[in-house]
Amino acid sequence: MIELVTNMERAERKETEVSEIENRGYVNPGVLVSTDWVANHLNDPQVRIVESNEDPLLYPSGHIPGAVEVDWTRDLNDPVRRDYLGKEGFQALMRRIGVTKDTTVVFYGDKNNWWATYAYWVFQLFGHDKAKIVDGGRIKWLNEGRPLTKDVPSYPPSDYVAAERDDKRIRAFRDQVLEHTNAKKPMIDVRSPAEYSGEKLHMPDYPNEGALRGGHIPGAKSVPWAKAINPDNGTFKSADELRALYEQEAGLKPGDDVVVYCRIGERSSHTWFVLTHLLGYKQVRNYDGSWTEWGNLVGVPIER
């Protein structure tokens, strides 16, 4: 009887959390999963949980049981030139972590899923759309007292065949950004206000990573990425709150062609995720060159 009650309570809590996400009014609520959903799919062979953090010490210190690590520098970037891994590299990564075309990849991480959405975005460059984000990320899992492990899982290698990387649909390059700003199309700078104003060349409490000039791309509106998050538990704000945020502070309208950027494209991938999947904007591209490229370019316009 005790176990029966426990199962009933679990089912009720799962239903509450799922409906709570659905009731926020997102265009695509299925792209988010609750921590309860994750707990109920820890042993699901069709699900691969991926932790992706800024802090490389977090995963070895303890992670969700069964989760693999995808490190943004080691696993997602070309080791020599500034670019992402290519088709063969992505294919090798997916085979190594045991992911097939039918596997649902579920991302979570630190910094309110800042790097989890970055990894999600890179996966979309290769068309792996069976992917979700854990609402609240690592901090919500920890705050709820859920289990962690230091055991690193090993999965049988898959035979994943990767598609060619698509750099046109959701990615913007510097020349395209220059055309975008000259055409006065909407652009969002998701960095901190001090970076946007030019007061700082880097994030507060972070070292300067090479930008020679401060400021922002002309016409870009300042909407810091973290405004999309509830500060108490790291979950995403409701669609009404998000829509008001981007309509009021950035002047966005349905149908807009939007470019988002930050420092190297990591924070802006979070805003790309919000605009694309939670609010349903059809044309949103992430300028991953961002300020470390624009702030060093010769002859491009800068505002302060």
pLDDT reported for residue 131: 98
How does pLDDT run across 261-295, given as a tens digit for each residue?
Answer: 999 999 999 999 999 999 999 999 999 999 999 99
Q: Report whether pLDDT(4) > 70.
A: no
Q: Is 223 buried (19+), middle (13-18) or exposed (0-12) by CB count in 10 A?
A: buried
| Active-site residue, 45 included | no
Answer whether 2-143 and 174-294 agree in fold. yes
- Tell me how far apart the alpha carbons of residues 119 and 75 are, in angstroms, rounded to a whole number: 10
pLDDT reported for residue 202: 75
Pick the catalytic residue: 262, 264, 278, 284?
A: 262
DSSP string, 228-287: GB-TTT-PBPPHHHHHHHHHHHH---TT-EEEEE-SSSHHHHHHHHIIIIIS--SEEEEE
What's the pLDDT band for 8 if we cut at 50, 70, 90? Answer: very low
Section 39-48 average pLDDT: 97
pLDDT reported for residue 3: 40
Q: Which CATH class is domain 174-294?
A: alpha beta
Percent of the chain at pLDDT > 90 equals 88
- Please tell me the pTM assigned to this model: 0.93
Q: Domain-by-domain residue ranges, the chain?
A: 2-143, 174-294
Closest-CA residue to 50 (of 94, 1, 112): 94
Query: Mean pLDDT for the chain?
Result: 93
CA 271 to each of CA 190, 206, 262, 279: distance values in angstroms, whole numbers, following the listed order: 7, 21, 10, 11
pLDDT reported for residue 233: 93
- Tell me how far apart the alpha carbons of residues 25 and 184 are, in angstroms, rounded to a whole number: 30
Q: Which CATH superfamily is domain 2-143 in?
A: Rhodanese-like domain (3.40.250.10)
What's the pLDDT band for 12 if we cut at 50, 70, 90? Answer: very low
Q: Report whether pLDDT(16) > 70.
A: no
pLDDT reported for residue 80: 93
153 conformational bin, left if phi > 0, alpha if psi -120 to 50, beta if neither: beta
pLDDT reported for residue 208: 63
pLDDT reported for residue 2: 36
Count the neighbouring beta carbons within 10 Å of the beta carbon of residue 43.
Answer: 8
pLDDT reported for residue 104: 98
How does pLDDT run across 70-115, given as a tens digit for each residue?
Answer: 999 999 999 999 999 999 999 999 999 999 999 999 999 999 999 9
pLDDT reported for residue 207: 65
